Amino acid sequence: MYAGHIGFGLGAYSFRKTVPLWLLLIAAQIPDWLDAGYCLGNMNRGPYGLYTHGFIPIVGAAVLAALFTYLLIQDAKGALLVALVVVSHWGLDYLTGIKPTWPGGPVVGLNLYARPVVDVLLESATILIGWLLYRRTLPQSVRNNVWTYATLFTLCALQVVAGAAFALSLGGHPKC
């Protein structure tokens, strides 16, 4: 999943506005940021990305992100929310890809990437639901503002571009 993670982070923001929006969005992407780090370091991400998308790294990242959040805002519920957003990454990726579990464990997933149209629809729906929740956090006067709608349309547009690139195999090769 790509922009759908951002949609999830947007939705989570509506439950705890004490947590900075940027932090929830980054938290939703953390395993992919680990991928980027492994890429830059030219390191092996393990079978099916076990070292970045397996249960162990995701739970570890969730704990660290929660601690960081607590240090930043002194809000235990906010820190818990960030941890849940990190863990959500695996669940959402389960829908779109094939993901590792634990060392020696099965690889699982619905692999909707193989059905690009379904994938784009699912991710767009995730973005829409998250955006609707996020929109409720904004003052009434700007809920129909051009910038508010720009969020929705930009995320959906990015998803369509990413989905098209993936379907055309431009991004269908391994991440690194």
Partner 1 sequence: MPIHLIKGFELIVALLAPVVATVYFNRRSLAAASREDKGQVR
Give the footprint of partner 1 on this chain (CB under 8 A): 2-3, 6, 10, 21-22, 25-26, 29, 32-33, 35-37, 39-40, 42, 138-139, 141-142, 145, 147-148, 150-151, 154-155, 158, 162, 175-176
User: How far apart are the C-alpha atoms of 138 and 14, rounded to whole Å?
Assistant: 9
Nearest distance in Å: CB 124, partner 1: 13
> 77: buried, middle or exposed (CB in 10 Å: 19+, 13-18, 0-12)?
exposed
Q: Given the complex with partner 1, which of 41 and 104 has the nearer CB atom?
A: 41
Q: Given the complex with partner 1, which of 25 and 81 has the nearer CB atom?
A: 25
Cα separations in angstroms, 65 against 53, 72, 152:
15, 10, 26
Residue 29 contacts residue 12 (beta carbons within 8 Å) = no
Nearest distance in Å: CB 21, partner 1: 6
Residues shown for the chain: 176
Q: Given the complex with partner 1, which of 71 and 140 has the nearer CB atom?
A: 140
Amino acid at 123: E
Q: Given the complex with partner 1, which of 13 and 94 has the nearer CB atom?
A: 13
Nearest distance in Å: CB 57, partner 1: 16
Nearest distance in Å: CB 41, partner 1: 8
- For residue 43, give the nearest of 135, 175, 147 by alpha carbon: 175
